Amino acid sequence: PCPGLLQVVKQCVRVPVFVMIRPRGGDFLYSDREVEVMKADIRLAKLHGADGLVFGALTEDGRIDTELCTALLAVCRPLPVTFHRAFDMVHDPLVALETLISLGFERVLTSGCDSSALEGLSLIKRLAEQGFFPPGGGITERNLQRILEGSTASEFHCSARSARDSGMKFRNPNVAMGASFSAPEYSIKVADVAKVRTLNAIAKNIL
């Protein structure tokens, strides 16, 4: 998020706010310039009240980039840090887990190295025995109970979004502002309050 978004979110919510540090979409192999951006974003997030940071970085052969992670963790101190779903792209998740624990990450978001947390449930349960692994990826009201019960997790990660139609009345059908496969300009993805409340109610009945 930009600093303005972080400031407004901090004014509106009482829960801890962890900021994701991700300079671009795509893979998790970062250039030197991208690393500079990540460090600058961490400093800005801390300055504007972030309660924790979230990032992930891999080497070209699918291992945890320990050198980069160590450097970024140093900039994050003293805030807690979560390793995000870059974990799902590692070559060997059990080796990666040991690396992340030794580096000092407090949480790891994961879908169990599968297409969703439901499909990766067996690995998530295995990993949870050794660390704090909130499941994430494809979690909805329909599968949350099964995922929480099957993983023994006490936290979970989901987008809980829905599409909202734009308020624009004039629309130019001949121009697209993004890539051809991106969401249309006149549909906005927003956090869905009803979904969040439903998911929270399901979790409270289980945890």
| Domain segments of the chain as ranges | 1-109, 136-206
Residue 180: its pLDDT value, please? 58
Residue 182: its pLDDT value, please? 62
Residue 86: its pLDDT value, please? 97
101 pLDDT exceeds 80? Answer: yes
Q: Which CATH architecture has domain 1-109?
A: Alpha-Beta Barrel (3.20)
Residue 152: its pLDDT value, please? 82
207 pLDDT exceeds 90? Answer: no
Residue 126: its pLDDT value, please? 86
Contact 99, 83 (CB under 8 A): no
pLDDT tens digit sequence for 186-196:
888 999 999 99
Contact 93, 121 (CB under 8 A): no
Contact 160, 191 (CB under 8 A): yes
Residue 179: its pLDDT value, please? 59
The residue written with tokens 């059908």 in the block is 173
pLDDT tens digit sequence for 33-70:
999 999 999 999 999 999 999 999 999 999 999 999 99
pLDDT tens digit sequence for 124-165:
988 887 767 889 999 999 999 999 999 888 889 999 999 999
What separation in angstroms does the CA of 86 have from each of 55, 152, 167?
A: 8, 22, 35
181 pLDDT exceeds 70? Answer: no
pLDDT tens digit sequence for 2-25:
999 999 999 999 999 999 999 999
81 bridge partner residues: 53
> pTM to 2 decimals?
0.89
SS3 letters across the chain: CCHHHHHHHHHHCCCCCEEECCCCCCCCCCCHHHHHHHHHHHHHHHHCCCCEEEECCECCCCCECHHHHHHHHHHHCCCCEEECHHHHHCCCHHHHHHHHHHHCCCEECECCCCCCCCCCHHHHHHHHCCCCCCEECCCCCCCHHHHHHHHCCCCCECCCEEEEECCCCCCCCCCCCCCCCCCCCCEEEEECHHHHHHHHHHHHHHC
At 173, is the pLDDT very low, low, confident or very high (cuts 50, 70, 90)? Answer: confident
Radius of gyration of the chain (CA): 18
Residue 59: its pLDDT value, please? 98
Residue 121: its pLDDT value, please? 92
- Say if strands 81-83 and 161-165 run parallel, antiparallel, or are unpaired: unpaired
Residue 98: its pLDDT value, please? 93
Strand spans (E) along 105-160: 107-108
At 206, is the pLDDT very low, low, confident or very high (cuts 50, 70, 90)? Answer: confident
